[in-house]
A and B are shown apart, each in its own frame.
Chain A
């Protein structure tokens, strides 16, 4: 099984450009998450979706939007990229918040 698939794996953006990070899971999970990982900061939750049709802000939502397109797909959009958004982004999914979360391989984003 593919599990959680993120695209792209690497991306370089100029300040002010926009882009969408895609995430899809094939495990029929209800919950999906977007995290960013920065050195010394661990994983910080950007947005999450507890079920199809719902999205909620996490710890660091400013500058991002999300769409839970259907049960499989949860995308993250940067409308106007800033250097502070340079990070590694991870998508994850789980059946519920109390069950194992499965992670994608990550997207390494650099904003110059």
Chain B
């Protein structure tokens, strides 16, 4: 099945820095999602986006649904050690659900 491309694949940042990651696809999606997977746990939904151009925040996290509907972006401001984990994007088109390849985030105290 299709897999969405996420970049970067991994990030090592200092505590307090801002983080940006993105997700791209060759197909159009109606919904974009961002999940976080803590070590040893399952993915947990962070943000859901339903309209092209939509910008949605959840605390220090902000995500955007790209205008072309083929991409999405996630920003984390003022990172803290508990932000460590793997961030996955996901796109939904009808009944089809596709995951991104993941971005592994390490925050250095």
The yes or no verdict on A and B being binding partners is no
Residues of A within 8 A of B (CB): none
Residues of B within 8 A of A (CB): none
